[in-house]
Amino acid sequence: MLRAILLLLSIAVLQATENQSCLKCHGMANLAEQTGPGRRLHSYHVAPSGFEHSNHHSLRCSDCHVQGYSQYPHAAAKTIPDCLGCHQNNSAFLDGSKERSLLLRDMEKMKTEFEQSAHHSALKDSFTCVHCHNPHRFADQRGKNLSFEERIEWSNAVCLNCHNSEKQINELKTKEYVYRTPEEIHAWLPSTEMHWKKVRCVDCHADFSGMERNEEERFSHKINPKEKAVRNCKECHSTESILTTRVYQMNMRKAREEEGLITAILWNNSYVIGATRNRWLDLFSLTLLVSGVGGIAIHAYARYYVYRKNRREKNDGE
């Protein structure tokens, strides 16, 4: 037991020591170099606090940055770290948890989806996993006790990290491109801010075809070109809404699990006009309306009957 503790302790110390020596330079916010086409400024900064809270915090820098870093100072990276080396078919990565197993299973699909995405089509190999999922600060929030809005915000931050930054977009662009802010691009969308708080970017911008219903929390990595983005309101605001099979289905299921069936039904927290309705309210109100109309029909018939009867009696009297 003591040996095991000492072993773990020494691994942690070694890892911390190695990472600290890297972060001595890479922890500096202004560590950058002008390189590549156009001599653009590339930052080599890794925020230590961000890394400590990331999913990779337990790794050594050299676990991913494998070659060419044994001496100091080292040259700029010649190879991009291979994410799939760990995240795909790696038994060391499997810790037996359901989420990890699903992630591994999904990885092959994600790769195929990504290769069909607008990002890959436009930027080819210069755009990789790390452009969205910064390995030095990426912290998967799935399974965490976040509110619905927090989950949306977390998901959208992945996209907005680049799309909210003209600098980031300019660094990536391969052809002439006039940067427009997400607000400018979505000016046509009513209640834009509300949509961004309640819907993930990927719900409109990704291709979900072929995904299974229980995969709604995962999104498709096949990001569509802008021409294929959802612009038709009815695709979300209808009973056959794409949202009800995506993030809102997940939200409703989660609400049922956490708050109980009745509360979730009565206080459906996933209100989207046209897509999610309180069935009890509709049932009660429509019953009331139909009963009212039925009552009126009976009453009107009785009036007509009495009117005819009175007229007949009057005619007979004459």
CA nearest 199: which of 262, 156, 259?
Answer: 156
Instruction: Write the interaction track for other proteins spanning residues 224-263; mark x where CB under 8 A is met and - where it is not.
Output: --------xxxx-xxxx-----------------------
Determine if 193 is a binding residue for other proteins (CB under 8 A): yes
Please name the residue that has the structure tokens 């070694």.
14
Residue (140 or 193) nearer to other proteins, CB: 193
Residue (115 or 193) nearer to other proteins, CB: 193
Please name the residue that has the structure tokens 């427009």.
180
Q: Beta-carbon neighbour count of residue 43 at 10 Å? A: 12
Interface residue with other proteins, options 108, 140, 149, 166 (CB under 8 A): 149
Interface residue with other proteins, options 49, 191, 209, 315 (CB under 8 A): 191
Q: List the interface residues with other proteins, window 275-304 (CB under 8 A).
A: 275, 277-278, 281, 285, 288-289, 292-293, 296, 299-300, 302-303
Supply the minimum distance, in Å, between the C-beta of residue 203 and other proteins. Answer: 16
Interface residue with other proteins, options 117, 155, 249, 268 (CB under 8 A): 268
Q: Taking a C-beta distance cutoff of 8 angstroms, is the pair 179, 169 a contact?
A: yes
Please name the residue that has the structure tokens 């009696």.
313
Interface residue with other proteins, options 44, 177, 179, 271 (CB under 8 A): 271
Residue (190 or 317) nearer to other proteins, CB: 190
Residue (9 or 283) nearer to other proteins, CB: 283
Residue (14 or 273) nearer to other proteins, CB: 273
Q: Beta-carbon neighbour count of residue 222 at 10 Å? A: 24
Supply the minimum distance, in Å, between the C-beta of residue 249 and other proteins. Answer: 16
Please name the residue that has the structure tokens 């965490």.
144
Residue (157 or 194) nearer to other proteins, CB: 194
Q: Applying CB under 8 A, what is the total number of residues that bind other proteins?
A: 37
CA nearest 199: which of 277, 278, 258, 270?
Answer: 270
Determine if 316 is a binding residue for other proteins (CB under 8 A): no
Q: Taking a C-beta distance cutoff of 8 angstroms, is the pair 126, 174 a contact?
A: yes
Q: From residue 140, give the alpha-carbon distance in Å to each of 99, 110, 132.
A: 11, 16, 12
Supply the minimum distance, in Å, between the C-beta of residue 184 and other proteins. Answer: 20
> Where does the chain have alpha helices with state H?
2-26, 48-52, 61-64, 83-87, 98-115, 118-123, 129-132, 148-163, 166-172, 182-185, 192-198, 201-205, 247-259, 261-266, 279-317
Residue (63 or 153) nearer to other proteins, CB: 153
Residue (59 or 272) nearer to other proteins, CB: 272
Supply the minimum distance, in Å, between the C-beta of residue 274 and other proteins. Answer: 3
DSSP assignment letter at 225: P
Q: From residue 46, give the alpha-carbon distance in Å to each of 12, 35, 43.
A: 20, 18, 9
Residues of this chain that bind other proteins (CB under 8 A): 148-149, 190-191, 193-194, 232-235, 237-240, 267-271, 273-275, 277-278, 281, 285, 288-289, 292-293, 296, 299-300, 302-303, 306, 310
